[in-house]
Amino acid sequence: MFLRTIGAGLVVAAMLAATTAQAAEVKIGFVTTLTTPAGVIGRDMKDAFELGLEDIGRKMGGLDVKVMYEDDGFKPEIGKQKTDKLVQKDDVDFVAGYIWSHVLLASRKSVLGAGKFLISSNAGPSQLAGKLCHKNFFSTSWQNDQTPMAMGEVLNQRGVKSLYVIAPNYAAGKNMVAGVQRTFKGKIIGKDMTKWPTQLDFSAELAKARAAKPDGVFIFYPGKAGGAFMKQYQQAGLSGKIPLYSVFTVDSISLPKFQKVNLSGVMGSFMTQFWAPDLDTPQSKKFVSGFKKKYGRYPSFYAAQTYDTVFLIKSAVEAVNGDLKNMDGMRAAMAKANFPSVRGPFKYGKNHFPVQDFYLREVVKDSDGVWTTAARKVVLKDHVDTYAKDCKM
Amino acid sequence: MTWALLLEQTLNGFQLGVLLFLLAAGLTLVFGIMDLVNLAHGSLYMAGAFFCATFTDWTDSFIIGVLLGLPATLLLGIAVEMIALRTLYARDHLDQVLATFGIILFFNELARIIWGPEGLVIPLPAWLDGNVEILAGVFYPTFRILIIAVGLSVALGLYVLVARTRIGMLIRAGASDRDMVGALGINVKMLFTLIFGLGAALAGLAGMMAGPIIEVNIGMGEEILILAFVVIVIGGIGSIRGAFVAALLVGLIDTMGRSFLDLLLKMLISGNAAETAAPALSAMLVYVLMVTVLFFRPQGLFAPRGG
Amino acid sequence: MTMNRRGVVMTLFLITVALLPIALVDQPFYIGLFSRAMILSIAAVSLNLLLGYGNMISFGHAVYIGIGAYTVGIFAYYEIYDGFIQWPVGLAISAVVALIFGAISLRTRGVYFIMITLALAQMLYFLGVSIDEYGADDGLVIDVRSEFAGLIDLEEGIAFYYVIFFFLLLTIFIVHRLTNSRFGVVVRGAKSNEVRLRALGFSVYQYKLTAFVIAGVICGLAGLLLGNFTNFVNPDMMHWTRSGELIFMVVLGGLGSLFGPVLGAFVFLLLEEILSDLTIHWQIIFGPFLIAVVLFMRGGIDSLLGKSTDD
């Protein structure tokens, strides 16, 4: 009995001991998903963050950089608890990462309320771009609606008059559909919102889409559902008959798998994105070749955004010469977006989301025969997201 | 809506139904005979898919992949039964739920360590990868036809096994009165292990049939497990016939909901409200079905045990 | 309840929890972690009323956490922060939902009961996922915690901690009184011999339904607290896996013991926190741990404190 009591005491003591503060270093907390099937995205982000740190010699403005990675387990509550730990116990200067909107929304107050910087390397919920925008929040990705809005323009340019939409029935899925509806001028003749994340069989939806005879099908299926969808699209004999337009579905994580099963239907399919691995900017070239060399695979867009996160933070620390108490100085430096970005030079909007170009991308084979995507042209130039006008800042 | 579409959706529902049956058959047998709530049944489904993907990768043949994957899943099932589950038969359902949930966590993490987090794909041979014209103008994926054929053959095979053989007699006896079988001087331990292995192989087969469609992923088992439980509860625990009927019912209702509920709702309420309500309702549909069935028949449709 | 070893340990435990904020005054993270553990303890104690005493294996108990948290979230969305409005409404909705769900599911027993409670909870989960107005699966941000006319400030971490502590003690007290009353005897008797009780003229169904509603309301309270604590609510909070976690806390701590679920919730959360820091493959340790608890530690942590007195 007493052993147990002592044991409990030791646990508490050990926890306290682990909290001694260190000076002369920049502490960054990075929250992403490392477990669950979504862990594959988190791995790409963590790899990119590590690559970025290596490329800058793990130094920012003369200070050593210390990173603490935390796994949110794909759950908002756990994400918030890990964020609390980073802010309250580890006393980090920046909290970055976040794949999922709900995890970011749940964690937001823990960081901003403590007066620290919060940087989203992926999630871009409309709330944070609009009503809930904050001076200490920055994004190195995009607002959810922007990429499908670019796709709407692509559809107009390609003369698509009737569109069939299939997307998962959750917040991001609805954002994507709303985004494409905002710019697409033709008629949406059918719309299926499928169960998320458990539904991976789309036989019923594909049968409906075929019967509706649209000019094009628009989909949004991130992660494993994307692979399942593309596969079934081909098995149903739709690829080659009805052009497929996707956002966040075909990426460098899914393409190697498609190539392995020779899913030829994905070749030549279209998508929109703010970046592509072949983008002709110095930083992107350095990043892609470095990533391929270190990890032996193409980086995903998640990785690209995360790589940018490193350089955004570096620009802030350097602007104040390592004086991490100078929040105003660091904020002003970040708001200038004065760092080498994989997307090339860009500006921040007043809600601290990038004002950036969106490209049409196509799946191609690279010189080694590896499937990848190539940017074809700019669809939206210097695009400001829809919610920036609601941001009172 | 055309007749061709209705036919296609019926086939889709049927296909989902037989896939669920493959999974539910083992679950209901194990439940009915050993009185074991086995959440880890989904792990065996996942294991079957991973085995098949690996063997297919080695041999470049999906068929050989399945033929090797089946005994592999069977052996894994037997090992799990002998190491962990055997001691759980005498426990109450709560203990079983927790221990088998622990097995799920263990296998998921083991699969991640062995195969990595990104999952695997199962390439199909060209003759299975396309689609065929089943009626003028109606194309249907060849592989889904194969699933229906496999599912129906298994159902028939199980029927013969249960209705016509000595093992089947013991299974029936076990489902209605467990203690009787032991009193007959049968090696009950052996019988249980055998039944569990059979259920595991069927779950693995379901995973191998689903793999080429939905890809092979960690955690794929849990997603379909709840549906399989819905099936056996609607069908009546322990009843193969009930599992078959309920699986088809769930498959058809789920597919029809996804297909036509939005049209139906648009006739009743405004377009916008229908667009919001249709996906929510179709996601709930199988649960509504289960609650309704249990409300009127608290023991499911075909309860083998009285009372 | 006599003052045996269990009594001593639990008293020490409660005193430790009561004094924790003083020892950890510079450690808001641990105050937060223990706050969350206490909130989930309340939920686990309420579930134990069904699981441990009434033999009703509800696989949908997390739904009441969702209802409580959503009540706070939706009121906050309309900028109504008054706790004197939010909380009674949240508890009332929990009661009504528990009454309806209980009335339907108590017609069945055994595994059918497990599945029907799961199904009903999943329906509310899908409802939450589908309502765009309230953020669908992105949920609602609760930026302002419930206000109690200046009487107490929940934004203050330590004050909130003691509010939660108070409700935990209250919950334990209520459950203790209930299980030792005539009501509790009937509900517990239903576990061992329902037929005999029925023959004695007790309407077991009504007693069980009452227990179901009380458990739902207490868990709804945990939801009100959790929504405030997390500053956020989304449908994940009522997913069936969360109900499963609650069940695990109860079994880990000790089915049908008064304090067991509290210990179970604390150990569960601490293990989750410590193991997940250790390795991302922590579930390969956690899974077999679960199996080991079931196989070798019958009666949970509580059984380590000696033979239970209230069986």
Beta bridge partners of residue C82, listed in sequence order: C147
**Domain-embedded: residue B125:** yes
Interior angle at CA C223, CA C70 and CA B100, nearest 5: 110
| Residue B198: CA count within 13 A, CB half-sphere | 20
Cross-chain Cβ contact B230/C115 below 8 Å: yes
Is the pLDDT assigned to residue C1 strictly greater than 60?
A: no
Q: Is the peptide bond before A197 cis (omega within 30 degrees of 0)?
A: yes
Alpha carbon of C226: minimum distance to chain A alpha carbons (Å): 10
| Segments forming the whole domain that contains residue B198 | 21-296
Specify the pLDDT at position A18: 46
Q: Over range A133-139, report the average pLDDT.
A: 97
Is the pLDDT assigned to residue B19 strictly greater than 70?
A: yes
Give A185-202 as a 3 state SS string.
CCEEEEEEEECCCCCCCC
pLDDT-based confidence at B263, cuts 50/70/90? confident
**Domain-embedded: residue B207:** yes
Q: Over range C275-283, report the average pLDDT.
A: 85
> What's the ipTM?
0.90
The CA distances from residue C223 to A291, C97, C228, C234, C258, in Å, are 45, 14, 8, 12, 21
Q: Which two tokens stand for residue B205?
A: 């087969």
Which chain B residues touch A236 with a CB distance below 8 Å? 131, 139, 141
Specify the pLDDT at position B304: 66
Give chain C's end-to-end CA distance (angstroms, integer). 11
Specify the pLDDT at position B183: 74
The CA distances from residue C294 to A239, B92, B160, C46, C236, in Å, are 51, 11, 38, 21, 27
Chain C CB within 8 Å of residue A106 CB: yes
**Probe site for chain C from B101, B296, B299 (most C CB atoms < 10 A):** B101
Cross-chain Cβ contact C294/B95 below 8 Å: yes
* In contact, A277 and A251? CB cutoff 8 Å: no
Give A109-124 as a 3 state SS string.
HHHHCCCCEEEECCCC
Chain C CB within 8 Å of residue A84 CB: yes
Chain A CB within 8 Å of residue C30 CB: yes
Which chain B residues touch A194 with a CB distance below 8 Å? 258, 279
Domains contained in chain A, CATH given: 2-142+282-352 (3.40.50.2300), 146-273+358-389 (3.40.50.2300)
Chain A CB within 8 Å of residue C283 CB: yes
Cross-chain Cβ contact B122/A261 below 8 Å: yes
Chain A CB within 8 Å of residue C138 CB: yes
Best CA proximity match to A112, nearest among C226, C231, B291, C244: C231
Which chain C residues touch B105 with a CB distance below 8 Å? 283-284, 286-287, 290
**Probe site for chain B from C51, C58, C291 (most B CB atoms < 10 A):** C291
* In contact, A154 and A245? CB cutoff 8 Å: yes
Alpha carbon of B223: minimum distance to chain C alpha carbons (Å): 11
Ramachandran class of A172: left when φ > 0, alpha when ψ lies in -120 to 50, beta otherwise: alpha
Best CA proximity match to B215, nearest among B107, B93, B123: B123
Which chain C residues touch B233 with a CB distance below 8 Å? 111-112, 115
Which chain C residues touch A77 with a CB distance below 8 Å? 36, 230, 232, 236-237
**Probe site for chain C from B83, B89, B109 (most C CB atoms < 10 A):** B109
Best CA proximity match to A253, nearest among A96, A47, A73, A95: A47
Chain B CB within 8 Å of residue A77 CB: no
Mean per-residue pLDDT over chain B, rounded: 90
Best CA proximity match to B172, nearest among B156, B191, B152: B191
Rounded to whole angstroms, the Cα distance separating A168 from B197 reads 36
Q: Over range B123-138, report the average pLDDT.
A: 87
Q: Among residues of chain B, what percentage have pLDDT more than 90? A: 60
Alpha carbon of C96: minimum distance to chain B alpha carbons (Å): 18
DSSP 8-state secondary structure symbol assigned to residue C259: S
Cross-chain Cβ contact B118/A257 below 8 Å: yes
Which chain C residues touch A106 with a CB distance below 8 Å? 139, 141, 230-232, 234
Nearest CA in chain C to B297: C108
Rounded to whole angstroms, the Cα distance separating B275 from A290 reads 46
pLDDT tens readout for residues C47-84 = 999 998 888 999 999 999 999 999 999 999 999 999 99
pLDDT tens readout for residues B42-72 = 999 999 999 999 999 999 999 999 999 999 9
pLDDT tens readout for residues A286-322 = 999 999 999 999 999 999 999 999 999 999 999 999 9
* In contact, B246 and B278? CB cutoff 8 Å: no
**Domain-embedded: residue B262:** yes
Count the domains in chain B: 1
Nearest to C115 among B108, B280, B290 (CB): B290
Is the pLDDT assigned to residue A2 strictly greater than 70?
A: no
Alpha carbon of A21: minimum distance to chain C alpha carbons (Å): 13
Specify the pLDDT at position A170: 85
At which residue do the structure tokens 């069936």 appear? C240
Cross-chain Cβ contact A237/B139 below 8 Å: yes
* In contact, A110 and C146? CB cutoff 8 Å: no
Exposed, middle or buried by CB within 10 Å (0-12, 13-18, 19+), for A115? exposed
Chain A CB within 8 Å of residue C123 CB: no
* In contact, A28 and A92? CB cutoff 8 Å: yes
Cross-chain Cβ contact A108/C9 below 8 Å: no
Residues 6+ apart with CB under 8 A from B76: B44, B47, B200, B204
Nearest to C141 among A39, A71, A127 (CB): A127
**Domain-embedded: residue B90:** yes
Rounded to whole angstroms, the Cα distance separating A145 from A143 reads 6
Cross-chain Cβ contact B223/A211 below 8 Å: no
Which chain A residues touch C268 with a CB distance below 8 Å? none
pLDDT-based confidence at A23, cuts 50/70/90? low
Q: Over range B170-195, report the average pLDDT.
A: 78
Cross-chain Cβ contact C137/A102 below 8 Å: yes
H or E stretch including A273?
strand A270-273
pLDDT tens readout for residues B272-290 = 788 888 888 888 999 999 9
Chain C CB within 8 Å of residue B87 CB: yes
Residues 6+ apart with CB under 8 A from C149: C82, C84
Which chain A residues touch B126 with a CB distance below 8 Å? none
The residue ranking higher by pLDDT, B256 or B185, is: B256
**Domain-embedded: residue B5:** no
Specify the pLDDT at position B258: 92
Nearest CA in chain A to B257: A204
Per DSSP, the residues of B214-244 read H-B-TTHHHHHHHHHHHHHHHH-TT-HHHHH
**Domain-embedded: residue B11:** no
